[in-house]
Structure 1
Amino acid sequence: MAGHSQFKNIMHRKGAQDARRARQFAKVIREITVAARSGLPEPASNPRLRAALSAAREVNMPKDTVDRAIKKAIGAGGGEDYVEVRYEGYGPAGVAVIVEALTDNRNRTASDVRAAFSKHGGSLGETNSVSFMFQRLGVIVFPASAGSEDDMLEAAIEAGAENVASDAESHEITCAMESFFTVRDALEARFGEPRSARIEWRPETTTVLDEEKARAVLKLIDVLEENDDVQAVYANFDLPDDVAQALAA
């Protein structure tokens, strides 16, 4: 029975990983679609498309899948028309939450997001109800092997970045949203392709959570991220080391 249970657990994990990978692909394909339609279908002339292709490489999307997505986006009919929407609200323990989505049906997505907040101890607010607690920043991450801490700092400053945080695994460069593509391209020319490069919401202040509240907040975020229309979820909470370890156990 133990072996059987272990096998079922492995199959369950594999199924969950496959489902997560499928959702990641679907979200990236939507971003590629919108990016390809927002400008020229050539990455060199379309910064948003370059960022979308970087996201595709980050989730190991096959090149032929990427190519099909671009061709479908610019082809006759072009498939679905997606619009960008942002939802803001409060989760459990008063944690501020921002949800970014690409949808072909605003009513469906708004209903799903509102239901997720209500069911998991939160409340959906008006646009700009929590975004004032966040900064919109460009975030570029390189593996530590890309260059030394000093070289990365020097290059980031020259490129116009605001901050560099380096550790044993990576270099994280942050910059103003308006400078994102300039900074990314300058660093990529010197250090090669970054591990990831995207524009994010970063909280200016955070709420420290205990284990019980952290589980509630993370459950809400999980439910939101499982929605096919949702591209990204940001929240202003912080976890002490012992809570993070308990959640990872």
Structure 2
Amino acid sequence: MAGHSKWANIQHRKGRQDKARGKLFSKLSKEITIASKIGGPDPAMNPRLRLAIANAKGQSMPKDNIERAIKKGQGGDVEEYFEIRYEGFGPGGVGVIVEASTDNKNRAASEVRAAFSKNGGNLGETGSVSFMFDQVGEIRFPLSVADEEAMLEAAIEAGAEDVVQEEGDEDEGEEGEHVVYCARDDLAAVAETLEERFGEAKSVKIVWKPQNLTPVDGEKVATLMKLMEALDDLDDVQNVYANFEISDEDMAALAS
């Protein structure tokens, strides 16, 4: 398993799917609210809001939830959110980037630091990890929309840099995905071109993509997964990225 793209599968097998989905909707709603507050409620005039809505739809968030989050961003009592990036190291020297949106910087820093320290990691300085990642655009489509060759050809023509296929979990009825990468400044244009051909993407966003992967095995696998879950469970945390690589055997043992 490269990176943490199949992380959700573990949550499914451990009966965490409902909790994970609730957390996901909460994070998506928060991003919509922040985007609406900063750039206005019209997605046609607000690129960040447009991406936030697209991601919410890709995760099957109900329309009412989306509209409620947009309206909340226009309310006068919306908290002021600060966007902060934390960087640190997990078990085995894995690099971890945490993106948070918080109305309380001290609380967010304290909780993120505690998650690292309690799960075999340590919080580092800004820049201590991000140099090992590239910030790029990422667009995801279900594998069913096209075969590998057709997606690669269309993506390159649209201006993308790379396409990889991620397998789904057949036991959980989860379909695999085409993952298209492009320069971050080209994300909107590439996504629009591909959606004209293949329909609405499952997600369109800026991500931190590892330049290289760090192998993790043995007991460190379980500790690393606890760290990832602890960070993702924090209310202030929006996204968590890491550069680990775990064998299918170790992942299977963890999920059993």
Q: TM-score, normalised by structure 2?
A: 0.86
2:201 counterpart (189, 194, 208): 194
C-alpha RMSD of matched pairs (Å): 1.9
Question: 2:54 matched to which residue of 1?
Answer: 54
Check conservation: 1:30, 1:82, Cα contact below 8 A: no
Counterpart check, 1:219 vs 2:234: no
Counterpart check, 1:152 vs 2:151: yes
State the structure with bigger RCO (CA 8 A, min sep 6), 1 or 2: 2
Q: Which letter maps to 2:188?
A: F
Check conservation: 1:28, 1:56, Cα contact below 8 A: yes
Question: 3-state SS of the aligned residue for 1:45?
Answer: coil
Check conservation: 2:40, 2:74, Cα contact below 8 A: no
User: What is the alpha-carbon distance in structure 2 between the residues aligned to residue 172 and residue 21 of structure 1?
Assistant: 21
Q: Which letter maps to 2:58?
A: E
Check conservation: 1:142, 1:171, Cα contact below 8 A: yes
Shift of 1:55: 2.1
Unaligned runs of 5+ in 2: 1-12, 168-175
Question: 1:244 matched to which residue of 2?
Answer: 251
Aligned length: 236
Unaligned runs of 5+ in 1: 1-12
User: What is the alpha-carbon distance in structure 2 between the residues aligned to residue 162 and residue 137 of structure 1?
Assistant: 10
1:33-48 mapped onto 2 (5 Å cutoff): 33-48=33-48
Q: Which letter maps to 2:130?
A: S
Q: TM-score, normalised by structure 1?
A: 0.88
Question: 3-state SS of the aligned residue for 1:54?
Answer: helix
- Higher helix share goes to which structure? 1
User: What is the alpha-carbon distance in structure 2 between the residues aligned to residue 60 and residue 157 of structure 1?
Assistant: 28
Question: 1:140 matched to which residue of 2?
Answer: 139
User: What is the alpha-carbon distance in structure 1 between the residues aligned to residue 94 and residue 191 of structure 2?
Assistant: 31
Change (3 A) 1:189 1:106: same
1:1-249 mapped onto 2 (5 Å cutoff): 16-75=16-75, 77-166=76-165, 169-249=176-256
Change (3 A) 1:206 1:118: same
User: What is the alpha-carbon distance in structure 1 between the residues aligned to residue 105 and residue 152 of structure 2?
Assistant: 42
Question: 1:3 matched to which residue of 2?
Answer: none
